[in-house]
Amino acid sequence: MIDIKDVEYMAGLARLELNTEEKKKFQKDLGSVLEFVEKLKRLDVEGIEPTTVGAESANVMRADEPRSKYDSETVKKMLEQLPDRKDDFVKVKSILNKN
Amino acid sequence: MGMNLKTLTIKDVQDLIAKKEISPAELHGQFLDLIKKQDEKLHAYLSLNEDTPGDLPDGELHGIPLAIKDNICVEGLSATAGSKILKNHRAVYDATVIKKLKKAGAFFLGKTNLDEFAMGSSTENSAFGPTKNPHDHARVPGGSSGGSAAAVAAGLAVAALGSDTGGSIRQPASFCGVVGLKPTYGRVSRYGLIALASSLDQIGPLTKNVYDAALLLNILSGRDEMDSTTARQLEHDFTAHLDKPIKGLKVAMPKEYFGEGLDGAVNNLIERAIAGLESLGAHVDQVSLPHSPFALETYYLIMPSEASANLARFDGIRYGFSKQGGNILDTYLKSRSEGFGDETRRRIILGTYALSAGYYDAYYLRAQKARTLIRQDFEKVFEKFDVIVGPTTPTTAFKIGEKKGPVSMYLSDIYTVPVNLAGLPAISVPCGFIDNLPTTNYQLPTTKLPVGLQIIGKKFDEETILRVAYNFEQAK
């Protein structure tokens, strides 16, 4: 089971807003998934190294040189997809509260 | 011209174009006409590419019409990932796989439907409505690459690309009766694939036969500096040894893949398929993958954890759906809450939970350790065997709306998920049909539902699984 307070807190961390009905539904759904994964607690993982990547890999290095990945045409297309902009800048709501 | 568009394989198209019986532009026109007539009911495509192909490069795939899952970026075409949050998004660059396909001369018919951000096993989670199974419109095509599988099965594309995080190529291939290949993690570049779980995702082909899958893998694979997880690999022709006999090959049958939950009729067909491999000279033995009963649980912690991080970029600020609030936090909350569907939000919250202070060790870290044990099970078996075989899915395609609640849906991926956790290559190849039982007492069974045989290989040994699949397909 997961507490409804936990659902609210996690949703907040994930920048999701849930209404009362959704909170109840998600509490039930997440509870059933957590109950499902509970089985993992029976597994003895003492001394086992975690697998953190999809394949054995080494760090990949390249020279630290400035390079432009996108030409100006592509950049223009990206700017056109901004929900809100002023000239070539992303426009956002104020980040600091004015007091 | 006695050409049937619907049954065309890549090789057929190559022959027709070589003989100048049809041009790529004509093929494009005919396919688009066919799709417009027949896809209204099926809903395999989310958007079509109306641009008639011009001068295509004279490569190995010259003039081949492909369908592309809508989480893979094709410059100028939609890239919705099946989500409202990307409803009006158009890709501004080509994924590496798309660049490679274009260079080889292929062109694209359109973008195919999927579960939102590839989260699902039925395409029912698409924000734009489900795709139907071509064998029975009341049933799902599987997912998340359900649109690609349905398009190929219905003949609305010669072949398609999908992505596979926990079975999303192989499970719909099995449900729709086509070939689906998930390459080894690191074989194919993920650059330009809208990420779900970065340590599990791979792009791969869905095709009408094994040869076409091998041919597409030739083009798709290779080291890419834009994806540092791609492995250094030599150029390789996966079609070259397909017909080499499989006599003496060591085939493992994991007992855990034939237990509770496996449909009896599916089991019969899989056992018959494995007997077929034996009659081709393969040695079959039963083995155990003792930690596979923990694979789904492991997957449903690791995948949502990675997804919760990957999906943080959809914030209503940079691109996609945006709902402005009074301050920036409000904009985030409103854009994400309205833009994401239920399953996506569920997985984001679950992932956030599994990664959060206080729960990290109990959930995420424990799952990563379990992942090691699951991977080691496979490594042990592959010390003595060449391939592992079993069912791709425990049942045939289920009905639209049949699976209630997230966990019952997850069980559909029980045999495919371990392969992603271990980073291995696997293919689903059609191995027969079972009767689609009538839903009313007075109705005769008129349709049959396909079943897929899954063949799992050693890391970077796609050659052997393709060879087994090809030998099996030819012997059928």
Best residue of A6, A32, A40, A80 to probe chain B, by most B CBs closer than 10 Å:
A40
Q: What is the pLDDT of residues B364-374, one digit of tens each?
A: 999 999 999 99
**Tokens linked to A84:** 């809100």
- The domain that holds A32 is classified in CATH as 1.10.20
Inside any domain, residue A27: yes
Q: Which residues pair with B4 in a beta bridge?
A: none
- Give chain A's domain count: 1
Residue A99 binned pLDDT confidence (cut-offs 50, 70, 90): low
Residues of B acting as catalytic residues: 69, 144, 168
- The answer to whether A92 faces chain B, any CB pair under 8 Å, is yes
What is chain B's alpha carbon radius of gyration, rounded to the nearest angstrom? 21
Q: What are phi and psi of B395, to 5 degrees?
A: -140, 175
The pLDDT of residue B2? 57
- Write the CA distances from B32 to A95, B17, B108, integer angstroms: 48, 18, 11
Task: Kindly state whether residue A24 falls inside one of the protein's structural domains.
Answer: yes
Chain A from 36 to 55: CB within 8 A of any B CB: 36-37, 39-41, 43, 45, 48-55
Give the distance from residue A3's alpha carbon to the nearest chain B alpha carbon, in angstroms.
Answer: 12
The pLDDT tens digits of the residues spanning B341-359 come to: 999 999 999 999 999 989 9
CA closest to A47 among chain B residues: B369
Q: Torsions phi, psi of B365, nearest 5?
A: -65, -40
Specify the pTM.
0.96
Q: Pick A13's closest partner by Cβ from B331, B356, B421.
A: B356
Please report whether residue A78 resides in a domain.
no
In a domain, A38, yes or no: yes
Report CB contact under 8 Å: B340, A16.
Answer: yes
Token pair of B347 as six digits:
């997985």
Domain-embedded: residue A77: no
The model's pLDDT over B212-268, given as tens digits with 9 standing for 90+, comes to 999 999 999 999 999 999 998 888 999 999 999 999 999 999 999 998 899 999 999
Assess if residue A70 is contained within a domain. no
- Structural domain of A17: 4-42
Positive or negative: CA dihedral B393, B395, B400, B403:
negative
Asked whether residue A19 is assigned to any structural domain, the reply reads yes
- Cα diameter, chain B: 70
Within a domain: residue A34?
yes
Least confident of A58-62, A75-79, B53-57, B355-359: A58-62
